[in-house]
Amino acid sequence: MKNFSFANPVKIIFGKDTIKEIANEIPKGSKVLVTYGGGSIKKNGVFDQVSKALSGYERYEFAGIEPNPHYETCMKAARLIKEKGVDFVLAVGGGSVIDATKFIVMAACFEDGDPWQVMERKATIKKALPFGSILTLAATGSEMNSGAVITKAATQEKIAFNSPLVFPQFSVLDPTTTYTLPSKQTSNGIVDTFVHVAEQYLTHSKEDTLLQDYMAEAVLKTLIIEGPKALKDPHSYDVRANLMWASTWGLNGWIAKGVDEDWATHMIGHEITAFYGVDHGQTLAIVLPGVMEILREQKAKKIIRMGKEVFGINESSDEAAINKTIKAVEDFFESLDIKTHLSEYGLGEEAVEKISKRLNDRGWKLGECQNITGDVAKKILETRR
Amino acid sequence: MKNFSFANPVKIIFGKDTIKEIANEIPKGSKVLVTYGGGSIKKNGVFDQVSKALSGYERYEFAGIEPNPHYETCMKAARLIKEKGVDFVLAVGGGSVIDATKFIVMAACFEDGDPWQVMERKATIKKALPFGSILTLAATGSEMNSGAVITKAATQEKIAFNSPLVFPQFSVLDPTTTYTLPSKQTSNGIVDTFVHVAEQYLTHSKEDTLLQDYMAEAVLKTLIIEGPKALKDPHSYDVRANLMWASTWGLNGWIAKGVDEDWATHMIGHEITAFYGVDHGQTLAIVLPGVMEILREQKAKKIIRMGKEVFGINESSDEAAINKTIKAVEDFFESLDIKTHLSEYGLGEEAVEKISKRLNDRGWKLGECQNITGDVAKKILETRR
């Protein structure tokens, strides 16, 4: 096991009818900015619950945070915070709203010019406003971590940042808020969680990390059992609860401690979204099987372990076990009605070239062995045509 | 899944040669009290590493914390803190030292008479000194939770308390500190962790908590695979690391969230220790198979699940599956050289009567269904003669 140090201080408030508890968490007298997305929370009753809970506070709203949230949008919210003297932010939505809010609370306190410098690793975060979240989509784990991914629309760049200063103070996880999600969003969320775990688990396996492996498999098995049930019966409380809790554990940091991490699937997927607007979850479903195929030797031990522990695959030859496991992952994504090939999204040779070129231009070397260049990404994507 | 709210802010510093990092965690200028046990840390090099790391601090020592730490001992340390104006405590040891330190940091700030009132639920904790820990024995999980068990020698009472004010600020987990443990302590620690998980998992299973179940099984499977290896090769880093990390996860609170909890094995075991001084881990190895036997109908679903997922037991009849699983648990404890019957510790009818009577006198109703009275405890212990 690798050495590590880590703390995750996020308070989780989990369960039915828990949104009202935010009034116990936000300091009395705070000026609260509520951030949210396209307005579905106004249709499903969540906004009303939030309004009621915040009745004693001076309150502002910032709506319109888009999926793959834009830097440009976040900067508008940061300006509003300064203008109104807001001192607490409440993110209500899925990973995009929470990610955006992490950038917003940082940007509102940033005093050395353009906060985008943080994304370019040219500046560090010194301060951020406190914020909490109300999660309405099980997917990104952003509700219990200190990372976020932001897109600069002007340059089509999608980049991640991380700082302990942007851990939420609290996150409310009420599974009933996910009952009315479009099934595509439920499926995307399941794929996102699955691939988060894969990034922290399907590696070259230099480390002996038995507990982390079993915990990663715990999340994956939960997704495989509960995912299809959620699509069939979107109002099953226990299924939604298990999926919501699994998505949080997919990326709250703990299963990554002591292990190697990959993240190539995410980095390549981000480029597909940045250039072509394909949903984040969809891009991961395209890329992961390709990463498994091209890195099959490097990742052999863990792919075989995943096959056995997660999918119950037992083959006498390693090659057959790996083939079956890659197919099982692809089949699982497709069973959720998520397409796994570029052509199914109208993309082909040009996309492969464009993404490969950008990664090469940046000089990135991705993956747990830093051996996935733009050229290797090209091979990966070629298997996904 | 049951509603819950929870935060665990403990910073974990894990790995080889990490004791030196405490100087980054303890505020400069603090007056530090180092608490420890019987002095094994002076033989295995841990004390030297601590001394070196604390070279810049004004420092005091409090040695002699016993296994199943005594209230009477803790009060001496609390007096020393007041006398010297100590403002940070560093616990160096296993669960007993860390548990004692939780009582000590609370007692040192207690202003309403005798701090034992907290144990009797007649007073609440309002304040505690900050403290950190250096763990030298994988067992109790105390390093990442806010609970402790203290024994009042005068009255032979062993009682637990819990308060978010006694979370450690940080805990250093260096697996190499466990290399030189006597094998009995290694075994006791493995049994303790196993039973911690069982208390949070082997219940009546009214809740559908798939992720928590898999995570509990992750800890159990790690113990079963790594436990025997640790006894055979006490200096294997990866084995010791996996066991140490598993013991922390056995009782850091997260696998208990959303589920029902039992804790009858611990409560009955505490009485065996309080009256007869049997090691904590040994008492659990005696009691758990008896709880599984007497509560076999109530816990049927989970016992069968444990058999299948943890021990690979597949039987066509529930009865056979339950029998085999109870036997597998008993065999696992015995494979670690921990005896599982009262008679093997020289105890018999008198002990059963004495413990049963005390539980009846207290009117306790233990277990997840509050149906384990002193009379039921008697039946449980009768199966363990």
Which chain A residues are Cβ-neighbours of B219 within 8 angstroms?
211, 214
For residue B149, the distance in angstroms to the closest alpha carbon of chain A comes to 24
CA closest to A212 among chain B residues:
B218
Retrieve residue A380's tokens: 């990966």
Give pLDDT, residue B206.
Answer: 84
For residue A216, the distance in angstroms to the closest alpha carbon of chain B comes to 9
CA closest to B223 among chain A residues:
A211
Residue contacts between A and B (CB atoms, under 8 Å): 131
Question: In 3D, which of B263, B275, B266, B262 has the Cα closest to residue B352?
Answer: B275
Give pLDDT, residue A206.
Answer: 84
* Whole-number average pLDDT of chain A: 97
Q: Do B5 and A13 touch (CB under 8 A)?
A: yes
Which chain A residues are Cβ-neighbours of B5 within 8 angstroms?
11-14, 18, 21
> Distance between CA atoms of A184 and A67, rounded to whole angstroms?
14
Cβ contacts of B79 within 8 Å, gap of 6 or more: none
Q: How confident is the model at residue A234 (pLDDT cuts 50, 70, 90)?
A: very high
Cβ contacts of A285 within 8 Å, gap of 6 or more: A191, A195, A333, A338, A339, A340
Give pLDDT, residue A147.
Answer: 97
Give pLDDT, residue B207.
Answer: 85
Q: Is the confidence at residue B39, as pLDDT, over 90? A: no
Mind listing the pLDDT tens digit for each residue in A90-138? 999 999 999 999 999 999 999 999 999 999 999 999 999 999 999 999 9
**Looking at the complex, does the CB of residue A325 fall below 8 Å from at least one CB of chain B?**
no
Q: Of A154-163, B181-190, B231-240, which gets the smallest average pLDDT?
A: A154-163
Fill in the amino acid letter for A336: L
Give pLDDT, residue A249.
Answer: 98
- Contact assessment for residue B313 and residue B321, using Cβ atoms and an 8 Å cutoff: yes
**Looking at the complex, does the CB of residue A277 fall below 8 Å from at least one CB of chain B?**
no
Residues in chain B, total = 385
- Contact assessment for residue A184 and residue A230, using Cβ atoms and an 8 Å cutoff: no
For residue B115, the distance in angstroms to the closest alpha carbon of chain A comes to 28
CA closest to A223 among chain B residues:
B211
Which chain B residues are Cβ-neighbours of A4 within 8 angstroms?
12, 14-15
Residues A371-384 have a mean pLDDT of 98
* Chain A interface, best mutation among B211, B212, B236, by max A CB count within 10 A: B211
Question: In 3D, which of A56, A59, A63 has the Cα closest to residue A42?
Answer: A63
> Distance between CA atoms of B80 and B85, rounded to whole angstroms?
8
Cβ contacts of B131 within 8 Å, gap of 6 or more: B88, B89, B90, B91, B101, B102, B105, B166, B168, B169
Q: Is the confidence at residue B14, as pLDDT, over 90? A: yes
CA closest to A4 among chain B residues:
B14
Integer-rounded Cα Rg, in Å, for chain A is 20
Residues B306-316 have a mean pLDDT of 97
Q: How confident is the model at residue A273 (pLDDT cuts 50, 70, 90)?
A: very high
Q: Which of residues 193-212 of B touch A (CB under 8 A)?
A: 207-212
Q: Is the confidence at residue B339, as pLDDT, over 90? A: yes
Q: Is the confidence at residue B238, as pLDDT, over 90? A: yes
Residues A282-291 have a mean pLDDT of 98
Burial per residue of A256-277, b for 16 or more beta-carbon CB atoms within 10 angstroms, e otherwise: bbbbbebbbbbbbbbbbbbbbe
Give pLDDT, residue B47.
Answer: 97
Question: In 3D, which of A155, A166, A13 has the Cα closest to residue A99?
Answer: A166
**Looking at the complex, does the CB of residue A4 fall below 8 Å from at least one CB of chain B?**
yes
Q: Is the confidence at residue B342, as pLDDT, over 90? A: yes
Which chain A residues are Cβ-neighbours of B212 within 8 angstroms?
245
Q: Is the confidence at residue B37, as pLDDT, over 90? A: yes
Residues in chain A, total = 385
Give pLDDT, residue A361.
Answer: 97
Q: How confident is the model at residue B102 (pLDDT cuts 50, 70, 90)?
A: very high
Which chain A residues are Cβ-neighbours of B218 within 8 angstroms?
211, 214-215, 217-218
According to DSSP, the β-strands at A157-162 and A147-152 are antiparallel
For residue B107, the distance in angstroms to the closest alpha carbon of chain A comes to 26
Give pLDDT, residue B350.
Answer: 97
The structural domains of chain B, ordered by start, are 11-177 (3.40.50.1970), 183-382 (1.20.1090.10)
**Looking at the complex, does the CB of residue B24 fall below 8 Å from at least one CB of chain A?**
no
Neighbours of B182 (CB within 10 A): 10
DSSP A65: P
Residues B344-360 have a mean pLDDT of 97
Q: Is the confidence at residue B205, as pLDDT, over 90? A: no
Measured in degrees and rounded to the nearest 5, phi and psi for residue A10 equal -65, 130
Give pLDDT, residue B368.
Answer: 98
Give pLDDT, residue B20.
Answer: 97
Question: In 3D, which of B13, B6, B9 has the Cα closest to residue B255?
Answer: B6
Fill in the amino acid letter for B207: E
How far apart, in Å, do the first and last CA atoms of chain B sit? 37
**Looking at the complex, does the CB of residue A5 fall below 8 Å from at least one CB of chain B?**
yes
Give pLDDT, residue A85.
Answer: 98
Residues B302-315 have a mean pLDDT of 97
Measured in degrees and rounded to the nearest 5, phi and psi for residue A34 equal -95, 120
Q: Is the confidence at residue A214, as pLDDT, over 90? A: yes
- Contact assessment for residue B18 and residue B172, using Cβ atoms and an 8 Å cutoff: yes
Neighbours of A89 (CB within 10 A): 29
Q: Residue A238 is nearest to which of B1, B170, B238, comparing CB atoms?
A: B1
> Distance between CA atoms of A360 and A340, rounded to whole angstroms?
24
**Looking at the complex, does the CB of residue A6 fall below 8 Å from at least one CB of chain B?**
yes
What percentage of chain B carries pLDDT values higher than 90? 98
Sign of CA dihedral B250, B254, B259, B261: positive
Q: Is B60 helix (H, G, I), strand (E, B) or coil?
A: strand
Sign of CA dihedral B327, B333, B334, B338: negative
Q: What are the C-alpha distances in Å from A226 to residues A79, A134, A156?
A: 42, 22, 35
Residues A29-50 have a mean pLDDT of 96
Which chain B residues are Cβ-neighbours of A226 within 8 angstroms?
210
* Whole-number average pLDDT of chain B: 97
Integer-rounded Cα Rg, in Å, for chain B is 20
Q: Do A11 and B7 touch (CB under 8 A)?
A: yes
Question: How far is residue B355 CA from its own chain's centroid?
Answer: 21
> Distance between CA atoms of B196 and B215, rounded to whole angstroms?
13
Q: Residue B4 is nearest to which of A15, A212, A242, comparing CB atoms?
A: A15
Using left for φ > 0, alpha for ψ between -120 and 50, and beta otherwise, residue A226 falls in alpha
> Distance between CA atoms of B105 and B242, rounded to whole angstroms?
30
Q: Residue B14 is nearest to which of A4, A15, A217, comparing CB atoms?
A: A4
Residues B134-151 have a mean pLDDT of 97
Residues A312-322 have a mean pLDDT of 97
Q: Do B15 and A4 touch (CB under 8 A)?
A: yes
Q: How confident is the model at residue A207 (pLDDT cuts 50, 70, 90)?
A: confident
Mind listing the pLDDT tens digit for each residue in A45-93? 999 999 999 999 999 999 999 999 999 999 999 999 999 999 999 999 9
Full-model pTM: 0.97
Mind listing the pLDDT tens digit for each residue in B243-287? 999 999 999 999 999 999 999 999 999 999 999 999 999 999 999
Q: Of A205-209, B25-29, B170-174, which gets the smallest average pLDDT?
A: A205-209
**Looking at the complex, does the CB of residue A319 fall below 8 Å from at least one CB of chain B?**
no
